[in-house]
Amino acid sequence: MNEEARYCIYCGDWYECRDHRVPIDWPGNRRNYAAGDVVSACRECTVLLSNFSKVTLSARSEYLTRAYEKRAAKWLRVPPWSERELQEMGYGIQTQIRRALLIRSIYVAKLRNLDLTELGCDPIPISIPIPI
């Protein structure tokens, strides 16, 4: 994946920052933005990685998979609701369930992409349609 990628190199979400593959808070390490030392990453992946000690993308993706599974556990348990079932509910509960389903779909996509990254493949950019 090229350095100017618009998506997180780990999970495929829109990137917001750069991840230092060798954390800058390690002793003797200085802030460096050279190609290969930093990768495009979303804020969530960067925060979850913090100062994780492995520098390979595969190892970092494996670590992120476990972290996301823990973080998203409640969203991954949301049952799939059909459109017909949703139509039988009131507006308020429909809105809450649709939001939960959207968040669930984002985490499912992130976990799939982390599996791809762990295998050495590029992630598939996440594009979730925003309701009007």
Sequence ranges of the domains in the chain: 17-118
φ, ψ at 14 (rounded to 5°): -60, 130
Tens digit of each residue's pLDDT (9 = 90 or more) over 40-66: 889 999 889 887 777 788 999 999 999
Closest CA to 123 of 2, 4, 13, 3: 13
CB burial of 82-108 (b: ≥16 within 10 Å; e: otherwise) equals eeeeeeeeeeeeeeebeebbebbebbe
pLDDT band at 5 (very low <50, low <70, confident <90, very high): low
Tens digit of each residue's pLDDT (9 = 90 or more) over 17-45: 877 665 555 555 555 555 667 788 899 99
pTM of the model: 0.80
Highest mean pLDDT among 10-19, 27-36, 106-115: 106-115
What does DSSP assign to residue 128? P
Task: Name every residue whose Cβ is closer than 8 Å to that of residue 94 and which is 6 or more positions away in sequence.
Answer: 86, 87
